[in-house]
Copies of this chain bind each other. A is one copy, B any other.
Amino acid sequence: MNTEADVNDFIQNGYQEYLTHLSIDPVILGYHQQQLKILLLKWKGYKDWGLPGGFIKQREPLSKAAHRILKEKTSLSNLFLQQFYVFGDSPYRVQERSPQEFRDKFNLQVEDDNWLLKRTIAIGYFALVDYSKVRVQTDFFTEDYQWWDVAAVPKLLFDHNEAIDKALLTLRLQIYHQPIGYNLLPEKFTLPEIHSLYESILGKELDQRNFAKKLIALGLIQKLEERRSIGAHRSPYLYQFVKEKYEQALQEGIVHTY
């Protein structure tokens, strides 16, 4: 959707292709240089940044819609994607939007009863992506994108700060029963690498020795007979996730601690 003709068609006729009242707002997280990063977009005419978003097609299964929207934004398929909350309480999620806003920001004509102005309840998904593989797609409505350190996210549009907080809370609560690091780290990693990722997600310091001992004792990660050479006297062992252990924990409802 890059030409003005496409956009006008979407505005006038999109209600035939998409469900009204519902959007999918993905919180896209990647890990780079020991920072947990989030992908934000800048919409035309708006001062503040915001989350990407998209609509569900009339007969499209919900999770298929989420994957399609993620692919449209990041060019990536088969991402780790998980629902975390439905946002329908804040004034932004109850009130209709103003046609004047559309005219002012995008210089587009919309009628008062246009489907895009209706109250929209947002289904939050978080995606864990390999930062280096993302190729961000912008469209007519967006003029820029940027990866932000999750610890330094600015004030965002609508209720998007709340969405990010909720996504991070969910990540933290699930960190010991979903292989979350699995999607953010390379297949083989060192203990310092996983340690600093988990510190980023939890937003606090973890004792490095106890942390590693615990993950190994629980069987969540295993040591490989392979080292990485990073200097004259430095060649730490590599580790990998044991996915079955997470699946078992999830099935049995066993919650691990550290």
Chain A residues within CB distance 8 Å of chain B? 19-22, 56, 58-65, 83, 85-89, 93-95, 119, 121, 123, 169, 172-177, 202-204, 250, 252-257
Contact = CB atoms under 8 A, between A and B. Distances in A.
A255 B173 contact: yes
A252 B58 CA distance: 40
Nearest to A253: B172
27 contacts: A19-B21, A19-B121, A20-B20, A21-B21, A22-B121, A56-B88, A61-B89, A62-B88, A62-B93, A62-B121, A63-B88, A64-B89, A83-B85, A86-B123, A173-B174, A173-B177, A173-B250, A173-B253, A173-B255, A175-B255, A176-B255, A202-B253, A203-B253, A204-B252, A254-B257, A255-B255, A256-B257
A175 B121 CA distance: 28
B94 A59 contact: yes
A151 to B, nearest CB: 14
Contacts of A65: 88
**6 pairs of A and B residues whose beta carbons are closest in the complex:** A62-B88, A172-B253, A257-B257, A61-B89, A255-B255, A19-B21
A95 B56 contact: no
A119 B93 CA distance: 21
> In the assembly, how many copies of this chain are there?
2
A217 to B, nearest CB: 12
Interface-centre pick from A58, A59, A86, A204 (highest chain B CB count, 10 A): A86
A151 B87 CA distance: 32
A173 B95 CA distance: 34
B256 A255 contact: yes
A176 B86 CA distance: 23
Nearest to A60: B94
Contacts of A123: 86
Contacts of A88: 56, 61-63, 65
A175 B253 contact: yes
A22 B255 CA distance: 32
A243 to B, nearest CB: 18
Nearest to A90: B61
Contacts of A256: 255, 257
Contacts of A63: 88-89
A17 B61 CA distance: 26
A220 to B, nearest CB: 13
